[in-house]
Chain A
Amino acid sequence: MRRLHLKDHRAEQRLFARRAALAAALAVLAIGTVAARLVQLQVLEHQRYSTLSRENRVRLVPLPPPRGLIFDRNGTPVAENRPAYRLEVVPEEVPDLDAMLERLGRVVTLRPIDVERFRALAARKPRFEAIPLRLRLSEAEAARFAVHRHEFPGVDIAVRPARHYPAGPLLAHVLGYVARIDADDLESLDPVEYRGTSHVGKLGIERAYEPLLHGRVGMQQVEVNAQGRPLRVLERARPRPGRNLWLTIDLRLQRAAQEALGEASGAVVALDPRTGEVLALVSAPSYDPNLFVNGIDPAAYRALAHDPDRPLFNRALRGRYPPGSTIKPFMALAGLEAGVIAPGTTRYCPGWFVLPNDERRYRDWKRAGHGVTDMYKAIAESCDVYFYDLAVRLGIDRIHGFLARFGFGAGTGLDVVEEARGLLPSREWKRRARGQPWFPGETVITGIGQGYLLATPMELAAATATLAARGVRVRPHLARAAADPGGPPEPLRFAPEPPVRLAEPRHWEAVVRAMVRTVHGRDGTARGIADAPYRIAGKTGTAQVFGLAEDEEYDPETLAERLRDHALFIAFAPADDPRIAVAVVVENGGSGGAVAAPVARRVMDAWLLRGGGAARGTAP
């Protein structure tokens, strides 16, 4: 305030008064300009606009773009637009709406929800506009209605394109589905672009590539009469159709993977480790996405939602499983990289492991023990004790740091939004999430992929692909190219992840050798699939669904099926020039070697024996 004395207040006030007067003049001028414009429009040009308004009533009618088609990598259509018979009613042409609905209900099926939706729409729209009553009539219903049509003035059948998924449940967890736009969608969608569009991608590819598949809305100017009834089209801007999309999925491989799983619940993810292309992605059981396109009826939805096998749950992307022994190759690499072990380093496995100053015994799956064990044997025979010991020597911090480089716990950045992240525990995580310090015993079981460690099948497949590519990390993706209808396909690009570099690159080969021995070695845990005409590098895993007490014996016979162990298997082949990397989880399947490995083998056969991936980067 003291400094105010330095000011010449009178001069300042005069200055301000001048500027304020100038501003006032500016305000008068600006408002005056608008006023002059209003005089121009409302007085001078009034006649013209009045005529335009009275006689030339032009209304804008949106023309929704046809949605882009989706093909598998070989060009087989997997999402298409099929004409659907739609039953429409123009209320003003119906003498008695209630009586009509009553009679119509005897010709075609009218569920209460259909009538309810129709009435809600009818209340909001002009009476001369056609309002859908049923979105998809069966052929039989359409035929039956055609016979009775003369009895129903104001009711007619319109043919509109509707989304159809010919592969049905086989690709539901990849494609997702489109469904009618609801109030939530309206908040996030561009109101102009979606004028006239009735459906929007809700899940999967349909959702992730919505902007690309949707296209641009077209408009036509229609002259209407005083009541708003269309008279003729004045001008037309065609809609720009949505772009067509090619998936990385191979439908035949997808089917082979689905069939290999059989009736079991579980997931299969197959990647091309050189490109990140997802060749197959199966989550079983699945559901028919076609049910959702035109509004699933509530009873059917309840049945799906409450099914104990959870068909709506995307196990491949959202299922978080303990990786079990499939983590061992990565643990071995961590040990080699840290210099804690060398490939030839041996430990003695008596069938159990104890921490110093602790009496708890961590048991090996093989009660008698594996005896003297080096890294190769430890992986091939899945010796737990070797990895208990290794984990303790590494410590949780180094384990966390190394596994993070493979993307564990971080998701893979797949090009659909619903992918979940696994869990890569650390001291810091435990303090934050559990409010507790990290206990040494937890490090021990992390060594065999138990405890807090969780991974999605997608993460496991991506990490396996990284092993296969000796550290090169690609970004998994489900879409490979897009094209305007009739235009040439343009490949989509996905930025790769930073590679995993080892101080000693030969350690990659050591671990791969151990994984080959898992399949092709005499005592390998996956020797059941060794008769393949190519070399496989793999690792079995068994994930406990519930914990056993120290002395309890795991006996699958006495356990309810839902509590049985999950069977896991990761693999890539051919071992020296991998063209496919696979992760398999069979829920409650029991042993990884006996149950999950054969599934992976059938998937790899279906790809490699057919020459899949032999030619790289073929255009769709």
Chain B
Amino acid sequence: MNGERIGLPGAEAARRTPGLAARLHLDLPLLLGLLAVAAIGLVVLYSASGERLEVVWRQLLRLGIGFGVMVAVAQVPPEALRRWAPWLYAAGILLLVAVLAVGATGKGAQRWLDLGVVRFQPSELMKLALPMVVAWHLAEAPLPPAARRVLAAFAAILVPVALIARQPDLGTALVVGAAGFFALFLAGLRWRWLAGLALAAAAGAPALWHVMHDYQRARVLTFLNPERDPLGTGYHIIQSKIAIGSGGLFGKGWLHGTQAHLEFLPERATDFIFAVLGEELGLTGTLALLALYLFLVLRGLHIAARAQDTFGRLVAGAISLAFLVYVVVNTGMVTGLLPVVGLPLPLVSYGGTSLVTVMAGFGILMSVHTHRKLLSPS
């Protein structure tokens, strides 16, 4: 490819992001977008936490770690990422299996949290390793991928998804699977495959229902009919909708959300923090944050389209779309569009575990964008 096209975007990038950002392999628009989202998040968190400054400090520390990880990952050239992909994936699978084995022998749910801490790591790694390995695999051959490659990619997706679903962590299994699927989709998976997949999903839903845990079924039923459980999960949704709806155009004002401050709103610093934003800053606040998220996703897709090789393109694209899924699943849940799945709002919800993964993902995007080969192999 590249002969005539390489120099141009490289020079362009260098012109647009002069100085420190370029030397640190950072993409300035992406960086500014992330900082803006993080800043909004801290402001809302201060209110959502009941004006506890120490909570904000802890979150700031986590964000600092997250940005540090992003900068570090951005230094790694995409070629190295490509070579690591299968190893990261293999390590992730091994860890997932190990965690299941430990979980099985660690008698009973009493030690749930001890396992919980360990459990988290492999599935987080998989959020990045899976799109990487699918991209690595598909980049080996011409696109669109042949049937055998598609089947192999599906296998690579299904194994970790099944392992994570067994933990059981259906929400994470879903987003991990989505990340892998997006790489396939961007690689030009043929429409007849997509149609077949949709059919299989429709046919598989009853089977999925069969293997789901009771509390997972309860969530789905409550989503379909919130009246069913007005005192349990349904209550979360009702209160969240009241908070957002009562915010109106401009909100009740920062620190003045009655829903949030009178403790009507559950999980208001973590999964339901978007409702606090909606109540206190209104439609203005929610749309502004959504716009920023959309900008991050589109910038990611732009970076993907500009990438020099197939691997870079697929990885960058898949990671951007996975990020979109986090945002839509969380905001959809809080506004009552989607069932309650315990996924945080990226960069805004209180908590640090998935934050690092998200930031490492943006590090990969920046790496893809800023390490450009001036010499082409052809």
Contact = CB atoms under 8 A, between A and B. Distances in A.
- Are chains A and B native binding partners rather than an unrelated pairing? yes
Interface of A: 1, 3-10, 12-13, 15-17, 19-20, 23-24, 26-28, 30-31, 33-35, 37-39, 41-43, 45-46, 48-50, 52-54, 57-60, 187-188, 192, 218-221, 224, 226, 228, 235, 237, 417
B63 interface: no
Most B CB contacts (10 A, CB to CB) among A16, A33, A58, A192 go to: A16
B297 A49 contact: no
A33 to B, nearest CB: 7
A1 B275 CA distance: 50
A221 B264 CA distance: 11
Contacts of A24: 297-298, 301
A391 B235 CA distance: 68
B301 A221 contact: no
A394 B162 CA distance: 49
B230 A59 contact: no
Given A12-B143, A16-B188, A60 B377 contact: no
Contact of A31 (B264, B294, B378): B294
Given A20-B301, A31-B293, A187-B113, A53 B243 contact: yes
B186 interface: yes
Contacts of B377: 1, 4
B357 interface: no
Interface of B: 1-2, 107-113, 140-144, 182, 185-188, 230-232, 235, 239, 241-249, 258-259, 262-264, 278, 282-283, 286-287, 290, 293-294, 297-298, 301, 304-305, 310, 313-314, 317, 320-321, 324, 327-328, 331-332, 335-337, 377-378
B270 to A, nearest CB: 12
Nearest to B140: A3
Contact of B283 (A17, A43, A58): A43
A188 B109 contact: yes
Contact of B242 (A5, A20, A38, A52): A52
A577 to B, nearest CB: 36
Nearest to B328: A30
Contact of A13 (B1, B141, B182, B335): B1
Given A16-B305, A43-B249, A53-B243, A27 B324 contact: yes
Contacts of A43: 248-249, 283
A42 B258 contact: no
Nearest to B251: A42
Given A6-B142, A34-B328, A41 B249 contact: no
A31 B317 CA distance: 17
17 contacts: A7-B141, A9-B1, A13-B1, A16-B304, A19-B185, A23-B186, A24-B298, A31-B290, A33-B328, A34-B331, A42-B283, A49-B246, A50-B248, A53-B259, A59-B264, A221-B230, A235-B230
B244 A38 contact: yes
Given A34-B290, A34-B331, A42-B249, A16 B186 contact: yes
A210 to B, nearest CB: 9
Contacts of B232: 192, 219
Contacts of A10: 1
The secondary structure that dominates the B interface is helix
Contacts of B287: 35, 38
A45 B317 CA distance: 37
Q: Which 6 A-B pairs have the closest CB atoms?
A: A49-B245, A53-B246, A9-B1, A219-B231, A41-B245, A42-B283
A357 to B, nearest CB: 44
A42 B244 contact: yes
A23 B321 contact: yes
Given A42-B244, A42-B248, A60-B235, A35 B290 contact: yes
Contact of B143 (A1, A15, A39, A59): A15
Given A16-B305, A23-B321, A228-B262, A188 B230 contact: no
Given A9-B2, A57-B258, 6 more contacts: A4-B377, A7-B142, A24-B298, A42-B245, A50-B246, A226-B258
A340 to B, nearest CB: 36
Nearest to A227: B262
Contacts of B242: 49, 52-53
A53 to B, nearest CB: 4
A3 B111 CA distance: 51
Most B CB contacts (10 A, CB to CB) among A27, A60, A192 go to: A27
Most A CB contacts (10 A, CB to CB) among B246, B259, B328, B336 go to: B246
Nearest to A48: B245
B241 A49 contact: yes
A222 to B, nearest CB: 11
Contacts of A226: 258
Nearest to A237: B231
Contacts of B188: 12, 15-16, 19
B328 A31 contact: yes
A13 B320 CA distance: 18
B293 A7 contact: no
Contacts of A53: 242-243, 245-246, 258-259
A23 B182 CA distance: 9
Contact of B335 (A6, A38, A57, A224): A38
Contacts of A23: 182, 185-186, 301, 317, 320-321
A69 B15 CA distance: 76
B336 to A, nearest CB: 8
A37 B231 contact: no
B186 A20 contact: yes
A558 B287 CA distance: 88
A221 B245 contact: no
Contacts of B314: 16
Given A38-B335, A42-B282, A188-B110, A31 B243 contact: no
B301 A50 contact: no
A45 B245 contact: yes
B155 to A, nearest CB: 22
Nearest to A28: B294
